[in-house]
Structure 1
């Protein structure tokens, strides 16, 4: 059976596939972040409750895959890993690049990788810090909470600047990113208040809804697209909670949310 053709490109737009997985069409390039395409079921201590809105073959023309971390199945499951390793280029953490091999290139926080756009310009992918748990969580020898994680800032002349948070729970880190990068045009925020019983006293490992709204305010983004809030049993706050938190903060006009599989513009 012939696989379906890749989705037509929607330049300047983003589509959340499910879980943390987002597709950005920007500057003539297609970027897929944290690919998770497995069917529901158990995954190494985590439970996937819903599959993706669209299968990975719809994005087989991806130019770049971004992986905030490869350590947890809810950010890189089996089919997501195969998809990432088949891409022309995979950007991830330094440790993740060593483990994944193949097309993977490791970035430390504040490293930038440049890609040539079809129009001859450049697309800059800058790795930014992330804290995968509470600020006071126990840190490993490298100073990481839980594991090494990065987010990404994607930018280029004439393009919207987009912040992809990765699994970050720290508003202090968001403030540092805002200070160093300036305001961004759009965010893809890993919300959902992921919690693991017995881990950090059950405190969130990713942004909860209130902190997602606060991150949007700190960054000054006019477009904020939540991801990472459905599809896995340990995500404890869904779309309703996110919408309520943005409303409570007076930020509903900057929240951009729709059913998974829907293209959303990266500029108002």
Structure 2
């Protein structure tokens, strides 16, 4: 089977996408709730979901593993997403997240890798990549976050950024794995005014362009660009930024 037939991405809204890779099916940050408001913990700002997903968990079919950037925010793991984890054989996430979730969750330290068997007898390697959810020093407030790199002997290298705002983290991925063939890149320029004085919590469109250049990525699947009130940029902003940079032909919206 050709590599193009072994890799595809379907996007459902927010950060949620189904990646088919080497006969395995990976789901990123599952968010399948209907629109609504989520109260923040300890008086912190809440988050509002503004649009429904384009599919329901029952429509997904088999999911072999969830790639969960972090479990602490509802725009990355909502009520429906948490319920879905019970039916998935493996959830890869942060070490602290795995401790909170229990069940089939496995925490990965940065650059730690796991090999998952493919139906054809080969393996897919999933490697944990660095990520920073906000400006420098944000970890104490926003918690641990992880990205992922998917590799296989006969397939494109795919980087899933997770909720990352740091180009330095992207450079580290490029140094180890670049050029990266494709990336599922979280963007949307989310901001919460009381948090870090409104600093970016994830990449904006201009930084997504820079990340693409750093990675040398030929194909970019933008996610995390719709369906939530605190996202300050949309698909149109992503298209405009990539068009201005002469990279619009690399965009795919699944």
- Shorter-chain TM-score tier: over 0.9
Q: What CA distance in whole angstroms lies between the structure 1 residues aligned with 2:241 and 2:188? A: 12
1:41 equivalent to 2:19? Answer: no
Q: Which residue of 2 aligns with 1:231?
A: 227
Q: What CA distance in whole angstroms lies between the structure 1 residues aligned with 2:87 and 2:157? A: 26
Q: Retained in 2: the 8 A contact 1:85–1:104? A: no
Query: Do the aligned partners of residues 250 and 85 (structure 1) sit closer, same or farther apart at CA in structure 2, a change above 3 Å counting?
Result: same
Displaced runs of 4 or more, over 4 A: none
Q: What CA distance in whole angstroms lies between the structure 1 residues aligned with 2:172 and 2:139? A: 19
Query: Do the aligned partners of residues 162 and 139 (structure 1) sit closer, same or farther apart at CA in structure 2, a change above 3 Å counting?
Result: closer
1:146 equivalent to 2:142? Answer: yes
What is the number of equivalent residue pairs in this alignment?
244
Q: Which residue of 2 aligns with 1:198?
A: 194
Offset of 1:146 from its aligned partner? 2.0
1:132 equivalent to 2:127? Answer: no
Q: Which residue of 1 aligns with 2:75?
A: 74
Q: Which residue of 2 aligns with 1:89?
A: 90
Query: Do the aligned partners of residues 185 and 138 (structure 1) sit closer, same or farther apart at CA in structure 2, a change above 3 Å counting?
Result: closer
Q: TM-score, normalised by structure 1?
A: 0.88
Query: Of residues 159, 163, 179 in structure 2, which corresponds to 1:163?
Result: 159
1:118 equivalent to 2:119? Answer: yes
Offset of 1:57 from its aligned partner? 0.8
Offset of 1:12 from its aligned partner? 1.3
Q: Which residue of 2 aligns with 1:174?
A: 170
1:18 equivalent to 2:19? Answer: no
Q: What CA distance in whole angstroms lies between the structure 2 residues aligned with 1:139 and 1:118? A: 38
Secondary structure at the residue paired with 1:31?
Answer: strand
Offset of 1:20 from its aligned partner? 0.1
Q: What CA distance in whole angstroms lies between the structure 2 residues aligned with 1:154 and 1:236? A: 29
Q: TM-score, normalised by structure 2?
A: 0.93
Q: What CA distance in whole angstroms lies between the structure 2 residues aligned with 1:157 and 1:139? A: 34
Secondary structure at the residue paired with 1:16?
Answer: strand
Q: What CA distance in whole angstroms lies between the structure 2 residues aligned with 1:223 and 1:147? A: 29
Deviation per CA, 1:91-135: give whole Å up to 9, x if none: 110000000000000001100011000000000010100010013
Deviation per CA, 1:156-200: give whole Å up to 9, x if none: 111111100000001111111101112111001110001111111
Which structure shows the bigger proportion of residues in helix conformation?
Answer: 2
Q: Which residue of 2 aligns with 1:3?
A: none
Q: Which residue of 2 aligns with 1:240?
A: 236
| Unpaired stretches in structure 1, ≥5 consecutive residues | 1-9, 258-263
Offset of 1:86 from its aligned partner? 1.6
Q: Retained in 1: the 8 A contact 2:37–2:48? A: yes
Secondary structure at the residue paired with 1:132?
Answer: coil
Q: Which residue of 2 aligns with 1:31?
A: 26
Q: Retained in 1: the 8 A contact 2:162–2:186? A: yes
Q: Retained in 2: the 8 A contact 1:11–1:26? A: yes
Q: Which residue of 1 aligns with 2:104?
A: 103
Q: What CA distance in whole angstroms lies between the structure 2 residues aligned with 1:222 and 1:177? A: 15
Q: What CA distance in whole angstroms lies between the structure 2 residues aligned with 1:110 and 1:131? A: 14
